[in-house]
Amino acid sequence: MKALTYTSWARPGIRPEEVESILNSARVNNPLDGITGVLIFNGAIFMQVIEGSEPAIDKLIAELEGDPRHSNLVVRDERMIEARAFPDWSMAYLRLENGQFEGEEQVTRALSRDVPITLRNIIRGLTHHLAPTKPPA
């Protein structure tokens, strides 16, 4: 099984209903493809941790790279795993609102319980550095 963490820039002017569409699509399609994970969004930057079979993860990343709702996808961590960190989450969601991540407590508990320390530190570090800034030109 494979786990992959990436970041990408949201398309400028992305509307909340577009983000909801991304989330709803993931929650419908991911179980069909055996993918679980968490999506984090701060209004400008997406960060997602996904896990599943290597072919399913590779296919999803290829699809995301062609998705016009975001750009500059960068893989931050990629590794083979023996067990899922998010076995019950077709796609958990954290959203930055008023400087606080909604849902952070639930994800932090799962990270502490299920995720190897190295990946946990990557996720926490990236999460706390997600701050709205200008996307690269």
Share of the chain above pLDDT 70, in %: 68
Count of CB atoms within 10 A of residue 45's CB? 21
Which residue type, as a one-letter code, is found at position 56?
A
24-31 long-range CB contacts below 8 Å, 24 or more apart? 26/90, 26/91, 27/90, 27/91, 30/90, 30/91, 31/90
pLDDT tens digits for range 8-32: 998 888 888 888 888 888 888 889 9
pTM of the model: 0.73
Domain spans in the chain, listed from the N-terminal domain onward: 2-129
**CATH architecture assigned to 2-129:** 2-Layer Sandwich (3.30)
pLDDT one-digit tens code per residue, 90-130: 777 766 655 555 555 655 665 665 566 666 666 666 666 55
Cα–Cα distances in angstroms (integers) from residue 90 to residues 8, 25, 34, 49, 100, in the given order: 20, 10, 8, 11, 23
